[in-house]
Structure 1
């Protein structure tokens, strides 16, 4: 068996090379032929991964955060080549979805060897794929602000960005179309979930499944700043969906528009709004651990 290991040498403050080395060592101990690709530039990494897929690699392991995983998805979506994830980033929500233990990312090698392959849905905007959550609104503004900060790193950077954005936040007028049903709403944020979590385990769409052919949509309607602060802890647990200012929907095709907003997906800047997102059932094969919901 030949496995292609794609890694980002800068992910996780340099953690990715160590994880990649552990994954490669474990694969080779089992007699697997390994091809290693380092994603020093996104364009080169994507083209190298596409070449490996065309050459017939048996699997791709993405070693890094959700951004690198999203890049790898662009190479394997629509093919029969399965993808696995060795988490080495900040959020690691795709790894959670696949049931990879975050405390033992090298277990991705064992998951590949076990060969538990499942077909998984993906979201698509234009010709670009996403796996977990597409978001816009307050959360995307926080991400934009966090990406502009040079210090600090990790989750603290997002906490500071949240405080800075909260001080000037105003409700956003959204226009939605959910499978032909139009909705106009003043909202804090709108998220489209193929999977349940984003931002490092926040269960923004807690009931979303990545194999049911549907998106789960969470709309947090306009609320006060103090209410928004109180809402934040409930998102980690997924209990926010029972609050009166939160609406949930399900759809297969979603049009999303709001002035001045940008959509993020899998933690990556995707596109200014308006966007149209559609779910594509079974768009990618994934290698999953026993704890993954996709394994059941």
Structure 2
């Protein structure tokens, strides 16, 4: 089995390089032919991944967080080439989906060696794909602010960005097309889920299945800021679904429009609204 290992060495506050070395040793000790790749930036990393797929690699393994998985998915989506994951990022939501070891790169490499495969859907907008959730509201604005901040690092940066944005945030006017049905309303956020969680286990699209051929669209309608703060911890358990301001739709395709919003997917800057997202059934094979 020929394997291409694609690494973000700075993932998880620098844990990426250690995870790569550990996984590389494990895979080669098992007799696999492994090429280790690392781009100087995201564009080069994607070029390397696409070239590896074009050259006939039998598996592409992403070493990093959800951002590196997101990048690797762009190279393997629709090709049948399986994706392996050695998680070492901050959120690791994709690894959570498959119950992969998140703190033991050797054990994660063993999952790759085991070779068990699962075929799942992806969400697609144009030629771009995502695995987890598209954030298109308050959560996206928080991401924008956090990415402009240089301090602190990790989850605390997002907590501070959340508090800062809460002071001035007002509900946004959305127009949605849900499988041909047009809905206009004000909301705090709209999230489009291929899977159930993002942001390190925030189960915003609770109940989303990876292989049902559908997207899960969650709308959080206007609520007071104290109510939003009170509801936030419920996202980690998915118990926010009983809130009266929560709406959930299952669709094959959705168009999301709101002024001035840049959406995020898999934790990465994805694109300015309006965006149309559709389900791409069975587009990804994962080594689980």
What per-residue deviation string (whole Å, max 9, x for no partner) do you get for residues 208-266 of structure 1? 01111001111100111111101100111101111101011100100000011111100
Which residue of structure 2 lines up, in the alignment, with residue 172 of structure 1?
Answer: 172
Aligned match of 2:17: 17
Aligned-partner Cα distance in 1 for 2:3–2:59: 5
Contact 1:192–1:218, Cα closer than 8 Å, also in 2 = yes
Deviations 1:34-62 (A, max 9, x none): 10001321111111111111111111110
RMSD of the alignment, in Å?
0.9
CA drift of 1:71 comes to: 0.7
Matches within 5 A, 1:1-296: 1-288=1-288
Contact 1:76 1:82 in 2 (8 A): yes
For structure 2, the 5+ residue unaligned runs are none
Residues 142-161 of structure 1 deviation map (CA, whole Å, 9 limit, x = unaligned): 11111111000000000000
Q: 2:102–2:108: 8 Å Cα contact kept in structure 1?
A: no
2:105 aligned counterpart, secondary structure: coil
> Secondary structure at 1:106's aligned position in 2?
helix
Distance 1:54 1:99 in 2: 29
Deviates more, 1:38-47 or 1:205-214: 38-47
**8 Å contact 1:215–1:250 — kept in the other structure?**
yes
TM-score (norm 1): 0.96
**CA shift at 1:184, angstroms?**
1.2
Give the match's secondary structure for 1:198.
Answer: coil
- For these two proteins, the number of residue pairs brought into alignment is 288
- Unpaired runs of 5+ residues, structure 1, are 289-296
TM-score (normalizing by structure 2): 0.98
Distance (whole Å) between structure 2 residues aligned to residue 69 and residue 39 of structure 1: 14
> 1:50-88 CA distances to partner (integer Å, 9 max, x unpaired)?
111111111111001111111111110110110011111
